[in-house]
Amino acid sequence: MTLLNSNKKNIGHGIFESAIFVILLCVIALRLSFTENPHIESFGMQGTFFDNFLSITISCSLIILFIIWLAVRRFHQKYQPGIFEWGIIIFAATAIISTIAASNRRDAINDSLTILSSMLTAIMLAGLLISAERKKILLIVIIGAAVANVYQCTEQFSSSNKLMIEQYEQEPATQLEALGIEPGSFQQMLYEHRLYSKDVRGFFTTGNSAAAIINLAIFGVFAVFDFKTNSKKQLLLPIALLLVLFAGLVMTHSKGGFAALAAAAILLLILKKFGRTLQRWRITVIAAVAILIITGVFAIIGYGLKYNTLPGGNSMLVRWQYWQGAAKIIADNPLTGIGGGNFGTFYTHYKIPAALETVKDPHCFILSLASQFGLIGAIGFCVALFYPIIKTATSNTLAVTTEQTKINFTDAVKISGVCTVLTLLFIRPMFVRTEIGGEFAVILYVLAIIYAAPAFFFAVTIWMSARNQSQITNHKINSAALICGILAVLLHNLIDFALFEPGIMTAIWACAAILYSGEQKRSDRKLSKTGKYSIAVIATLLIACIIRYCLFPAAEVSIKMENANTLASRGYFKDAQSLLLKASDDDALNPAPAAAAGKMLVYQFNLDPVDKGEFLVKAEKLFTTAINRDKADFKNYESLAGVYETLAQITSEKRFFWFEKAFATFKQAVERYPASGELRMGLAQAAEQIGETDCAIENYRKAVETEDAYTEQFKIMYPDKDIFSRLGKIKYQQAKEKLAELTENKK
């Protein structure tokens, strides 16, 4: 009877883990098939808040699934952390610390959840990949998702990018308002530059991100399929996949993607040719590579410091500026970092006047991790990610991964394929923001091109791979190719941010799990009933905390802000305002609802200023609330200073009082964005009003110097373009005239 019960438990546990494996495959396919953003970008953009909620929901669901999986595994005495897991534990601990220290804790929580969900997924997969067949199915799903991205690239290249340009040219003001961009501003110039460059990006935010997943899939093809077969017929599918994927890479126009592909391909050829020799001398090789990397880093830093740029044109010039800012952030916050998702807020504190734009990521994954999660967090992340690579590369089985259990490949791939395709057909449409409209042709286009076609190309890849069963199952996974695929993405992300796209992050960690699978340690220690109850209680509490403090706030704020956005677009400002205030109360960590409510009140005042001074008083309180929730962001200080300036202009009896407050607030804004000519101008004008002449002169001078520095860099980067003033020609001229006038008067 005991043996029978034990067998039932083992069967039940096997079904449970198989179900989790299929769920994870569905999530990976989903995350690689839509543009996911865990952060709120602009109040005016329809659907932004719903997108934010969906992204957080995926991340929270993965973490909850991990907690359940880990609890069940501990019940079966089958889990003990190794170096891979300890790296993730270190990162998780630093993520908590950096969140506590963060200025915007809601963004820090959301960013940490997104990264940790991918890392914890890797731990699950490492325990679930009990056979070579499962590993191959996982890689085939990633390849299929990459093929679907190639389809999307083709669609963007041939039609949708042109359609976006036509729509913008018909109604530019509408699009700019939705994006929160002021017409005639420098931001408009940057937006148009990106729009007319016709970036082919697949389901991601940039072409570089699409190139990253395509590169991973290219090496995935070499890892899964047997290219040594004598059957030319069996080579048709892998060659066709490589041609399709390479065509997609070409369409992205990603220089970094091509460079990473070439470097990784050369490495794969070296490993294939000299693999055994390199393994015999692996310690020497590792030492030589380490020395080479360190020398390269110092050479890059030396070149940058000497020439104030990096070789590679405009893109590397601006990256050097991003890196300089990131280095200063790390120097000021080496242990705690500034918190995930907070880089864009802090970058303005260090941005040089000549730099053309602000960014949300330094375009280097190591600097991004170190600046936001501290040096220890970056080390934990890299230890976890590189350990499986180094462990596999230095083992005696570099060419293959170890196999543990045999399962039926045909049945497994059919079940996995059906579930992932159904996910793309019926769940993915909820994650893709599209206006269907009422016209039959538009509805047909959306259903066929946007919803069905990606699922179709994904399904064809899975189906064709299943038909090539003998070519796949008789071939052991080529770990060298998989390592090269991971390194191609990481190498590319030394100058990009694609790794932090949730889909790519999840895929990379999934590949790391393939390398690490079979290495997880198992504990022989049996748990008592008390131990099992303790684990169940801890797991329940953790899940409850995630739902209450991560998922619920995202849901409540997203729904209310989305509805408020819709109401505001129809002119129902009072109802929209009420929803925003409720959203602000629902999440005490999130500055976005209060800031949006304040801006709405200012907008209402500007529409009809007569007898509406109380709108500005209310806006003052809301911007102050937003500031208290994110003290590092200059934007809310700028908005608050604008409110004080307007109050000074409409209340003559308290004019000096309000200008004093405007002066103090502009000063705080400038401290957070010293390279802003606009803020320098505002501070100078407020200083003039309260008699602070020296401060006014200093800031008029800084405003002019900032604009001049920007103009010089603009000429270098865009010699054939007319100079686009960032401060504005009228304000620039006013600053020069005021500077001359005040300087003369002081004499």
> Tell me: the pLDDT tens digits for 393-406?
887 655 444 445 66
Distance of CA 356 to the CA centre of its chain: 22
What is the chain's length? Answer: 747
Domains (range + CATH), the chain:
12-516 (no CATH), 562-746 (1.25.40.10)
| % of the chain surpassing 70 pLDDT | 88
Alpha helices in 394-528 (DSSP H): 409-422, 428-431, 440-445, 453-467, 469-473, 479-492, 502-516
Q: What is the pLDDT of residue 248?
A: 96
Q: What is the pLDDT of residue 522?
A: 66
DSSP annotation of 525 reads: P
Q: What is the pLDDT of residue 405?
A: 61
| The model scores a pTM over 0.85 | yes
Query: What confidence tens digit (pLDDT) does each residue in 599-613 have?
Result: 999 999 998 877 677
Single-letter amino acid code for the residue at 553 = P
Query: Residue 259, Cβ neighbours under 10 Å: how many?
Result: 15
Q: What is the pLDDT of residue 1?
A: 44
Query: Residue 280, Cβ neighbours under 10 Å: how many?
Result: 11
Q: What is the pLDDT of residue 258?
A: 95
Q: What is the pLDDT of residue 403?
A: 47
Q: What sign does the dihedral 7-9-14-19 (CA atoms) show?
A: positive
Of 258, 247, 252, the C-alpha closest to 209 is 252
How buried is 283 (Cβ within 10 angstroms: 0-12 exposed, 13-18 middle, 19+ buried)? exposed
Torsion of the alpha carbons at 657, 604, 623 and 356, rounded to the nearest 10? -100
* Cβ atoms of 735 and 684 closer than 8 Å: yes
Helices and strands, number each (H, E), in the chain: 32, 0
- Three-state SS for 80? strand
* Cβ atoms of 27 and 420 closer than 8 Å: no
In the structure encoding, which two tokens stand for residue 561, read together?
Answer: 């802000």
Q: What is the spatial distance between Cα 483 and Cα 524, in angstroms, rounded to a whole number?
A: 32
Q: What is the pLDDT of residue 401?
A: 46
* Cβ atoms of 43 and 592 closer than 8 Å: yes
Report, as ranges of residue numbers, the positions in the chain whose pLDDT lies below 70: 1-10, 38-48, 77-79, 160-170, 173-198, 230, 396-406, 435-438, 440-442, 471, 520-526, 611, 747
Q: What is the pLDDT of residue 254?
A: 93
